[in-house]
Amino acid sequence: MVKKTIFQTYSAHNIFLWFILCVFAISCSTEEMLNPPSVVAGDGENMSLKLTINTPPTVLPKGATKSQTAEEASINEIRILVFRNDTYIYSAEGSILDHTATSTTFDAELKTSSSPIVLFLLANSNQAIDAANIAAGDSKSEVKAKIQHAFTVSGISSPFPMFGEYELPSLDTFNNNEISGIKMLRSVARADILVADDVTNFEMVSVQLYRANNKMQIIPNNMTDAAVTSPSIPGNSSGSIITSEISVSGNVSQSQLYVPESSAPDESEKDSKATCIIVGGKYANGEVTYYRIDFNLGMSGHPFGQILRNHKYIFNILKVGMPGKKTPEEAAKAPSVGIISEVQTWDENSTDMYFDGEHYIGVSARTVLLKSWAGSTSEISVNTDVSDYTIQWSDENGNLLGVASETSIQNTNYLVQLRENKTLIHVEALTRNGNHGERNDYFTIQAGQWKVVIKIAQLGYAATLEEVVRVLSFTNVGDLGTGYSSDGTLNASGAAMRQILNYYFYPASLIDMGGYSFNEMAQTVISGSNTLAANIMADYDVMFYTYDSKPSTGTIVNTLQWLNNKKNRVLIVAADWTGTNINLLSALGDTWDWIYKDDGGNFKFVEPTEANSIFTQTGPFGGVSSSSVFGRTDAYWGRTLNYSEYVIPLLTSSYDGGMVLGVNKKRRIVYIGDCNLFTTTGANYLTGAGNLSKDQDYLMGNLWAWITDVVLSGR
């Protein structure tokens, strides 16, 4: 329940109770507190209730195009259901008094009450309420189950049903009160589909839903601070709706698909029961075929197929490798193939979007979660039209400390940086939290009149002590092997890398976790006519395609699905020599030219930058010198000069600057041009035997600390 403060007392003449509801299009919230009336008076007297509902201007996201429709922001009608002791007693109709571009004012009549009451506020839901036949004496749960909204083949075109809740200790005629900050929760989710700019062989022409629920429960079963973590599906609903195809232009579908909530299907029914999106498109200028895209975030709390109200799901199509199915029906009945997409979700209320009628600011989270070790990082998105906003240390109540900055702030434990033209806030732990419990700090974003407090929560060391990262590699140079041989030596070509992982990624060590688990397979099981099964891949968090792996087409398809199905998986791909993993690199969409000619020289450490800082400067294993070199042992190594802008190079050729080791943090891929980097050879290689004494050790330690962070944070 929201925080309440008592407002000023006025005369008993012409008394009104004011509700100011900051209802945001998609993102509904405000930083003002609720102000309930004080306790006086008896039951039963009529009193006038005035509600002013603010509908802010359309949110302009990073793409700078309108992402909302009038239905997302509009409130045409409102009804208040009043409960006492968990029992429904009466309702009040709101009548529109005034309507502007940013607010709508209603008037309603309530009865005074000397005992606590709960108000259910339902917007754009009168028809559903009338059809529900709720009666005095119904419990809250009964009322919730009864009030439903139909979802049809045409989707939702009317203003969206919304719900808000407010509790009053009493209601009387002796006070004029303002109540603000009630958050309204929309009953639908939104799905946007975007084709990445570098996908040039595909034109999206249509989108539609398959197996959407035909009924929506307007009031959620459970709601905390206007957010839900599980769907509320009517008992009489069925996933029977196939919506009409919606035409798409410009490879962008925004504000076209609105989706009712859905529960996660059983594992055996993912293909046949899950609500999914069918995209129609032309591959390589051919005929229109159809592709399936699933609501599959790979995140804790978001199982396959689950859809939650008031969330925005953004699907970014990264690659299309073949024509789709001939019909939408065929695509809907089969697993997704031929198309690679990533999906992000945005819980619109928990992001706290703020508007003042002219400007807006929103953040993707109010809490930044870090692991216990130094070097653990996390980021939140910022969406605002206030370009000169600042960040400043504060306490949990927003009382400012230190000096405001438009670039970065730092204290003993944390570094906070504004990145990517201030659209991202990057937070990094500078010290290990050696405590058993969580360690917290706070900073405040200031944008015009708005102050948004962000909590940093760094987990205690005990939080990840049972977390194990599972690695699969394939037998050849640099592989990470399995266990130990009978003589006590490591069964791994990359034994030096294994020593670092075994000694420093362990309980009470530098990286507090349960450790690493290793398995190894012969390259023959993934190449030629053989395919490594998807269910086997699913057992691993990290897969390492070593020198000369040459995975088959079937293995490549399963690998891409493995990588994209969950956001806590990391792929390591070697490019040691011509043809080694060239088909896998191509399937990943990497059309770079790899150079396999040995022109001599060693591998240089890159100059430190903001982008590579967690690998070269602030990682848990410490900083490295850009004057250091990483040795090479033979003529079998690769480099590339024209890699993607999203790849962060860590080692480059001293001959021409070509990248030898690099990381794509966005796609969770590590590119390694020489698998000998994981071995012990000479002075310019890893120390081995569990010792840390050189920049080569520190760089690889920081690389695997990032891998660990990705895997465990994703869980």
Question: What distance in Å separates the CA atoms of residue 380 and residue 351, rounded to the nearest whole number?
Answer: 10
**Amino acid 173: pLDDT:** 61
Report whether 635 contacts 597 (CB < 8 A): no
The matching CATH number, chosen from 2.40.50, 2.60.300, 2.60.40, 2.20.110, for 16-185 is 2.60.40
Q: Give the model's pLDDT for residue 12.
A: 30
- Residue 82, pLDDT above cutoff 70: yes
pLDDT at residue 64 greater than cutoff 50: no
Question: Does the structure show a pLDDT above 70 at 55?
Answer: no
**3-state SS, residue 579:** coil
pLDDT of residue 103: 57
Question: Would you say residue 386 has pLDDT above 90?
Answer: no
Reported in sequence order, the residue ranges of 553-686 that DSSP labels E, i.e. its strands, are 570-574, 594-595, 603-605, 629-630, 639-640, 647-653, 659-664, 669-672
Question: Rounded to an integer, what distance in angstroms lies between the CA atom of residue 663 and that of residue 677?
Answer: 15
pLDDT higher for 449 or 400?
A: 400
Mean pLDDT, the chain, rounded, equals 82
Specify the range with the lowest mean pLDDT, choosing from 170-184, 240-254, 529-543, 620-634: 170-184
Q: Which fold has domain 359-460?
A: Immunoglobulin-like (2.60.40)
CA distances in angstroms from 357 to 59, 96, 126, 338, listed in the order given: 11, 20, 28, 45
User: For residue 333, which of 291, 271, 281 has the smallest C-alpha distance?
Assistant: 271
Question: Any idea what DSSP says for residue 14?
Answer: T
pLDDT of residue 331 exceeding 90, the answer is: yes
Q: How far apart are CA 389 and CA 380, in angstroms?
A: 15
Band of pLDDT at residue 164, cut at 50, 70 and 90? confident
pLDDT the model gives residue 63: 33
The pLDDT of residue 340 is above 70? yes
Joined tokens for residue 21:
């509801």
pLDDT (mean) for 357-374? 78
- Among 40, 140, 135, 42, smallest CA distance to 91 is for 135
Helix (H, G, I), strand (E, B) or coil at 616: helix
Domain boundaries, the chain: 16-185, 189-347, 359-460, 465-714
Per-residue pLDDT at 497 exceeds 60: yes
Please report the pLDDT score of residue 329 as a whole number: 97
Cα–Cα distance for residue pair 575/125, rounded to 1 Å: 59
State yes or no: pLDDT of 326 exceeds 80: yes
Q: Where does the pLDDT of residue 52 fall: very low under 50, low under 70, confident under 90, or very high at 90 and above?
A: low
Q: What percentage of the chain reaches a pLDDT higher than 90?
A: 45
* Res 504 pLDDT > 80: yes
- The CATH T-level fold of domain 465-714 is Rossmann fold (3.40.50)
| Structural contact between residues 363 and 42, judged by C-beta atoms closer than 8 angstroms | no
Crossing angle for the helix pair 495-504 and 695-714, nearest 10 degrees?
A: 60
Q: Is the pLDDT of residue 530 over 90?
A: yes
Give the number of other CB atoms < 10 A from CB of residue 184: 25
DSSP annotation of 132: H
Average pLDDT of the segment spanning 390-412? 96
Query: Which residues touch 233 (CB under 8 Å, ≥6 apart)?
Result: 213, 217, 261, 262, 263
Whether 399 shows a pLDDT value over 90: the answer reads: yes
Read off the pLDDT of residues 642-652 as tens digits, 9 standing for 90 and up. Answer: 888 889 999 99
Mean pLDDT to the nearest integer, 412-426: 94
Q: Is the pLDDT of residue 2 over 60?
A: no
What's the pLDDT at 13?
A: 33
180-195 tens-digit pLDDT: 556 778 899 888 898 9
* Cα distances (Å, whole numbers) of residue 392 to 195, 356, 420: 37, 22, 19
- Average pLDDT of the residues in 668-677: 92
> CATH topology for 189-347?
Immunoglobulin-like (2.60.40)
pLDDT above 80 (res 6)? no
> What pLDDT is stored for residue 26 in this prediction?
33
State mean pLDDT over 135-149.
97
pLDDT of residue 203: 97
DSSP β-bridge partners for residue 432: none
Q: 502 CB contacts (<8 Å, ≥6 apart)?
A: 515, 516, 690
Per-residue tokens: 485 = 């041989």
pLDDT value at residue 30: 30
Cα(252)–Cα(263) distance, integer angstroms: 27
Fold matches, 189-347 and 465-714? no
Q: Is the pLDDT of residue 715 over 70?
A: no
For residue 99, the model assigns a pLDDT of: 63
Q: What is the pLDDT of residue 16?
A: 33
> Which element (helix H / strand E) includes 564?
helix 553-565
CB 123 within 8 Å of CB 73? no
Residues 406, 404: Cα–Cα separation, whole Å:
7
For the residues 169-175, what does the mean pLDDT come to? 65
Confidence class of residue 536 from pLDDT cuts 50, 70 and 90? very high
Residue 216 has pLDDT above 90, yes or no: yes
What percentage of the chain reaches a pLDDT higher than 70? Answer: 82
pLDDT-derived band at 297, boundaries 50, 70, 90: low
Token pair, residue 125, equals 């839901």
Find residue 482's DSSP bridge partners: none
Q: Is the pLDDT of residue 101 over 70?
A: no
Quickly state the pLDDT bin for 120 (edges 50, 70, 90).
very high
Mean pLDDT of 253-274: 94
Of 125-129, 231-235, 486-490, the one with minimum mean pLDDT is: 486-490
What is the structure's pLDDT at 463? 81
* Mean pLDDT of all residues in 683-697: 80
